[in-house]
């Protein structure tokens, strides 16, 4: 298999601080691997506390002294639309670099680049159209909300769809007038470095956007603990989220965290089986299974269980695994050898916990690279580790159920609560089940398609807070209530009586 290496790769990936590309002050670097060969292809600057301090200082200056927070919403919106235009004009290049860096199939990476542009358009429009509350107490008082940006936002993003997820945080943070320090995941720093030129060309002033590469334990930790960073938005593992929560506590920071998932897809006997198969196969094997909202547990009603498992396994066995740059590829290579080892360890655990009906190892003909054959386990018990724990790869557990009550207990019987997918043509059941399921987002007879106005977030171990639409605006702004009296202020008159001495 010939492996495609993009032209014009950087000689080194640097930080971007106060409008300039810079190395770490102490010269620290780390290797970035190509996920198809697992060979280092570039070194990236490894940010330390001193580099984070420098980036936060630049962001703080741009917030207190610079024009960005004081621009009219329309002026900021124009810049955001220019960012979207620039992302769209180079979407093919972005997708090529993203695929090279992450191992995501090229057709899916292209879709992610286009979504990134749409995220900027959406928030550009929202800040211009935004309205806030005003209340009038006739003849007495007017109260209104004065919304203002908070300051420096620390954005910490994962490696699974890095460019798109960075846009999801950058767009609302910048739209509302904050300045940012972005710390992208260390496995995939390549596409993040493109933001610097895109934002500069679009007219974002120096210091408004800063990028510090590095390890979570070093750069991420310093950002979370920095006293001048009042907001942290994080997407990643629940364990890391717990650590961030603890480290942010002494500073009482605003936290928005979208964490892991073990989302159920519940297929009732009255569902449209063909559509349910399409959606549930795509729902766990798209993006190489490396997606927080993956429907990685499929619960199937007993009358259709055997047929469903058989047809699902056949589809999984026919998924095209191969070079991420080949448009025919449906599943590419996992992001990193460490992650490959984790997923493969779950495949081995699963062999003792369920009936293996597809996959179960490395695909034939792919001797190197982080390739995992799409793997399907049937008859998985609810206490199995592959039922309970997030694998974050092309591995799925299928479990039968007999009653609606049992389906609900199985769906809710994990620590996570991000998404749920429900397949039924019974209207009453559809709504009752959706409302009873412990998930931040539910899709009924639908694939994971999102309207950007809706809240995005999870319950239980899947997150804290919501983003999306106005909820993102709420997170990135302070809402100050201003009260004005229209006539005399009627206050109780303390201290107006002459003191009488008492014996």
Predicted confidence (pLDDT) per residue in 283-338, tens digit: 999 999 999 999 999 999 999 999 999 999 999 999 999 999 999 999 999 999 99
pLDDT at 500 over 80: no
Longest dimension (CA), the chain: 103
Read off the pLDDT of residues 94-126 as tens digits, 9 standing for 90 and up: 999 999 999 999 999 999 999 999 999 999 999
pLDDT for position 191: 96
Given 28, 166, 258, 353, the catalytic residue: 258
- The CA distances from residue 56 to 15, 19, 190, in Å, are 13, 13, 22
Distance CA 347, CA 397 (A): 11
Mean pLDDT, rounded, of the chain = 97
| pLDDT > 80? residue 443 | yes
- Treating both helix axes as pointing N-terminal to C-terminal, what angle do 91-102 and 106-129 enclose, rounded to 10 degrees? 120
pLDDT digits 0-9 by tens, 217-227: 999 999 999 99
Contact (Cβ atoms closer than 8 angstroms) between residue 230 and residue 152: yes
- DSSP conformational letter for 219: I
> How do residues 5-48 score in pLDDT, each as one tens digit?
999 999 999 999 999 999 999 999 999 999 999 999 999 999 99
Question: pLDDT exceeding 70 applies to what percent of the chain?
Answer: 99
Q: What is the mean pLDDT of residues 456-483?
A: 96
The C-alpha atoms of residue 351 and residue 467 are separated, in whole angstroms, by 38
Q: What is the pLDDT of residue 113?
A: 94
The string over 231-251, giving b where at least 16 C-beta atoms fall within 10 Å of a residue's C-beta and e elsewhere, is bbbbbbbbebbebbbebbeee
Identify the structural domains of the chain with CATH numbers, from first to last: 12-259+462-483 (3.40.605.10), 264-444 (3.40.309.10)
pTM: 0.97
Give the pLDDT band (50/70/90) at residue 268. very high
Is 88 part of the annotated catalytic residue set?
Answer: no
Supply the DSSP string of 63-123, one letter for each residue.
HHTSSGGGS-HHHHHHHHHHHHHHHHHTHHHHHHHHHHHH---HHHHHHHHHHHHHHHHHH
- Judged against a pLDDT cut of 90, whether residue 366 lies above it is answered with yes
Question: Which two structure tokens, joined as six digits, stand for 146?
Answer: 């004065």
Rg (CA), the chain: 25
Ramachandran assignment for 460, one of left (phi > 0), alpha (psi -120 to 50 degrees), beta (any other): left
Q: Which residues, in sequence order, are bridge partners of residue 210?
A: 181
Coil, strand or helix at 410: helix
Given a cut of 70, is residue 502 above it in pLDDT?
no
């Amino acid at each position: 298999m010939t492996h495609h290496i993009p032209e014009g790769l950087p000689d080194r990936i640097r930080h971007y601080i106060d409008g300039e590309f810079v190395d770490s002050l102490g010269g620290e670097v780390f290797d970035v691997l190509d996920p198809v060969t697992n060979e280092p292809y570039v070194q990236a600057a490894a940010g330390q506390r001193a580099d984070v301090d420098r980036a936060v200082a630049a962001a703080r200056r741009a917030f207190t002294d610079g024009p960005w927070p004081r621009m009219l919403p329309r002026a900021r919106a124009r810049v955001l639309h220019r960012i979207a235009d620039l992302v769209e004009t180079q979407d093919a290049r972005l997708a090529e670099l993203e695929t090279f860096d992450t191992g995501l199939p090229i057709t899916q990476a292209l879709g992610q680049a286009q979504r990134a542009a749409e995220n900027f358009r959406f928030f550009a429009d929202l800040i211009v159209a935004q309205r806030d509350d005003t209340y009038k107490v006739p003849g007495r008082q007017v109260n209104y909300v004065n919304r203002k940006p908070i300051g420096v936002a620390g954005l910490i993003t994962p490696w699974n769809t890095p460019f798109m997820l960075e846009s999801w945080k950058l767009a609302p943070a910048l739209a509302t007038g904050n300045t940012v320090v972005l710390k992208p995941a260390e496995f995939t720093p390549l596409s993040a470095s493109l933001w610097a030129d895109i934002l500069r060309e679009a007219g974002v002033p120096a210091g408004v956007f800063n990028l510090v590469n590095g390890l979570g334990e070093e750069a991420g930790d310093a950002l979370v603990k920095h006293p001048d960073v009042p907001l942290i938005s994080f997407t990643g593992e629940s364990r890391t989220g717990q650590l961030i929560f603890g480290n942010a506590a002494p500073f009482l920071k605003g936290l928005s965290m979208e964490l892991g998932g073990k989302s159920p897809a519940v297929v009732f006997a009255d569902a449209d089986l063909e559509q349910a198969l399409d959606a549930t196969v795509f729902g766990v094997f798209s993006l190489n299974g490396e997606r927080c909202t993956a429907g990685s547990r499929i619960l199937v009603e007993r009358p259709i269980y055997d047929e469903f498992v058989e047809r699902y396994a056949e589809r999984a066995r026919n998924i095209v695994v191969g070079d991420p740059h080949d448009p025919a590829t449906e599943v590419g290579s996992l992001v990193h050898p460490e992650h490959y080892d984790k997923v493969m360890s779950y495949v081995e655990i699963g062999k003792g916990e369920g009936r293996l009906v597809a996959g179960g190892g490395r695909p034939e003909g792919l001797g190197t690279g982080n390739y995992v054959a799409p793997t399907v386990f049937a008859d998985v018990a609810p206490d199995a580790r592959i039922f309970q724990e997030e694998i974050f790869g092309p591995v799925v557990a299928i479990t039968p159920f007999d009653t609606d009550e049992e389906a609900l207990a199985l769906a809710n019987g994990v620590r996570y609560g991000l998404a749920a997918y429900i397949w039924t043509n019974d209207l009453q059941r559809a709504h009752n089940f959706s409302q009873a399921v412990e998930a931040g987002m539910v899709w009924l007879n639908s694939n994971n398609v999102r309207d950007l106005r809706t809240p995005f977030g999870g319950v239980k171990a899947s997150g804290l807070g919501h983003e999306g639409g106005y909820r993102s605006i709420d997170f990135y702004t302070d809402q100050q209530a201003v009260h004005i009296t229209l006539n005399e202020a009627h206050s109780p008159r303390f201290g107006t009586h002459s003191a009488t001495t008492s014996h």
